[in-house]
Structure 1
Amino acid sequence: MPIITLTTDFGVKDHFVAAVKGAIYSELPQATIVDISHEISPFHITEAAYIIQNAYKSFPKGSIHIIGIDSELTPENKHIAVKLDEHYFICANNGLISMIASAFKPEKIVEINIHDKINTNFPVLDVFVAVACHIARGGTLEVVGKVIEAVKMIKGITPIVNVGDKQIVGNVVYIDNYGNLITNITRKQFEEVGKGRQFTIKARSAVFKNIYDRYSDAINFTVEKSKREEDGKKLAIFNSSGYLELAIYKSNPKTVGGAASLFGLSYRDTVSITFE
């Protein structure tokens, strides 16, 4: 039976996540449910897209991903089920799904039309669960919706390359649990534009001259521990997803602070790379 994943902005204080899981188990007692995240910032589809984009490919083909972000049904926010990259996604047609894949080429899209059969004001619990369980049993998308050709598209924030390939101007698109700042500048773009040139990264008053592959690469372990710069050291890396990340080594936003607070940066703030 396919894995069913859950990504929501419900948090974990309330009963919502447990209710959704209970509804799935009531229909499919043998189901395997995996939480991707329930700590998405409320209604933040860009943040959700970044997390799902970097998680779903690790799951087996055929997995079913329920996305409970901005999911209230309205005339401008219909519900859809999408087969993409041999995975199934159930969500609102709010643009989120278009940001999950760099090249959005869905195999099939349906606009869910079973609402008249379900009395609900909690669509993730009722409608999305019903669709997910139908797919998990081997059901086709056409049974739960009408085929449509396109979804709402959001390109998101795209880095700008200035004339002469002298500068890339990007933005913060996500702040992780450590307060690290993830930008929309990729390693691929950096290498294509930079062509091996020296560079300077600027984010407000923070300046970086090097980009590391791992956090620990920024630390000089040949220096005696009591004398070397370690905890609190600022650094730039290409993270495991291939995006430029600005971080503080072994940061803790609840005590010493993270890159976001220490650099004074938040979502959509500018990060630039200037090449010499």
Structure 2
Amino acid sequence: MLSMARQDKIITLTTDFGWRDGTVGAMKGVILDICPQARLVDLAHDIAPQDVVAAALVLEGAVPYFPRGTVHLAVVDPGVGGSRRALALQTPLSFFVGPDNGIFELVWKAAEAHFGLGNLKAVYLEEKKYFLEKISPTFHGRDIFAPVAAHIANGLSIDRLGPPVMRLHRLGIPETSPLSGGGVQGMVISFDRFGNAITSIRHEELRQVGPADGVSVWLGRRRIGPLHRTFSDVDEGEPVAYVGSTDRLELAIRNGSLREKFKVRRREKVVVSPAGSA
């Protein structure tokens, strides 16, 4: 079930490194030295420093659109050089390489729901012959993760990289909770570059509350309104609730920043209830 061809040798890169310091380029150099045929795709490198949740959301939104056998290398790694472990994961569609800090939680949960846990595989990276010879304690992206991703793209089985993982590190995002009266409660978990709030509430949970025009969305004590289809459904400067492109409830200000206007913070409560209920 888990064997797959990797003829395209596509490797994506997601980091918080930015472009100023040459770190992304160094990782690409390592990959191309080991796998000269690799096709490298930059998903995002302007993630806020140490923002593991934002990186997990980038992967959640992008991974489903890549061909079978793609290797996804992700390095947002506040614990680099410390006790956190290094991972390689495999689903029937994709491979993942990076730190065990929750960065792969969302794609792993999606794969588990779709394929079943028995069709997934995770190992710790312990076989040092697949690393660079000299390892910096502050740059595992170049010295461990990049070479491992390249070897996987070349066809290496992840079984050869180390022992199986018993349990992945979690992000710590609380699950949504049902409310009496048929509503659901979640929270703001991140923001995009426009200041739109991304929430923990998914589209299927909204459907259970009621039709789009039959629900009321609240951010803390502020009523955002019913569920709309897109930004242009409200006047400029007005708040709008909608289902974003990754099937999560999102909150925005049309042509503005909800984050700035309402001084919104992560983990702020979001409630969706049937229209007319408190």
Report the equivalent of 1:209. Answer: 225
| Identity value in percent | 28
Q: Give the alignment partner of residue 126 of structure 2, picking from 101, 107, 113.
A: 113
Deviation at 1:64, TM superposition (A): 0.3
CA distance in structure 1 between the partners assigned to 2:261 and 2:205 by the alignment: 27
| Map 1:90-239 → 2, pairs under 5 A | 90-103=97-110, 104=112, 105=117, 107-115=120-128, 118-121=133-136, 122-154=139-171, 156-165=173-182, 167-194=183-210, 198-204=214-220, 206-216=222-232, 218-219=233-234, 229=235, 231-239=236-244
Q: How far apart, in 2, do the equivalents of 1:102 and 1:194 lie?
A: 25
Deviation at 1:204, TM superposition (A): 4.0
| Cα distance change, pair 87–232 in 1 and its aligned pair in 2 (3 A) | same
Question: Comparing 55-64 with 186-195, which one deviates more in the overlay?
Answer: 186-195
1:41 has 2:41 as partner: no
What SS does structure 2 have at the residue aligned with 1:102? helix
Q: 2:72 aligns to what?
A: 65
- Over 3 Å counting, the alpha-carbon distance change for 1:88 and 1:128 in structure 2 is same
- Once the two structures are TM-superposed, the CA of residue 197 in structure 1 deviates from its matched residue by 7.8
User: Are the counterparts in 2 of residues 114 and 127 from structure 1 also a CA contact under 8 Å?
Assistant: no
Partners in 2 of 1:90 and 1:134 — Cα distance?
11
Query: Conserved in 1, the CA contact under 8 Å of 2:85 and 2:124?
Result: yes
User: After superposition, what is the alpha-carbon deviation per residue over 1:207-249, rounded to whole angstroms, capped at 9, x for unaligned?
Assistant: 2322122222x15xxxxxxxxx3x3232111112111111122
Structure showing greater Rg: 1
Runs (5+) with no aligned partner, structure 2: 1-7
Where structure 1 has 5 or more consecutive residues not aligned to the other structure, the ranges are 220-228, 252-257
Q: Deviations over 1:123-142 (max 9, x none)?
A: 11021111111111111112
How far did 1:173 drift?
1.1
| Structure 1 segments of 4+ aligned residues over 4 angstroms from their partners | none
Q: Which position in structure 2 is the counterpart of 1:259?
A: 258
* CA distance in 2: counterparts of 1:143 and 1:21, whole angstroms: 23
Per-residue deviation, 1:195: 6.4
Report the equivalent of 1:225: none
Q: Are the counterparts in 1 of residues 209 and 273 from structure 2 also a CA contact under 8 Å?
A: no
How does the TM-score come out when normalised to structure 2?
0.84
Aligned residue pair count: 257
Q: Distance in 2 between matches of 1:30 and 1:2?
A: 7
- Counterpart code for 1:187: H
**CA-atom RMSD in angstroms:** 2.2
- Per the TM alignment, residue 154 of structure 1 is displaced from its structure 2 partner at its CA by 4.3
Residues 203 and 148 (structure 1 numbering): CA distance in 2 closer, same or farther, change over 3 Å? closer
Please give the TM-score of this superposition, normalised by the length of structure 1.
0.85
* Distance (Å, rounded) in 1 between the aligned partners of 2:13 and 2:226: 37
User: What is the one-letter code of the residue matched to 1:265?
Assistant: V
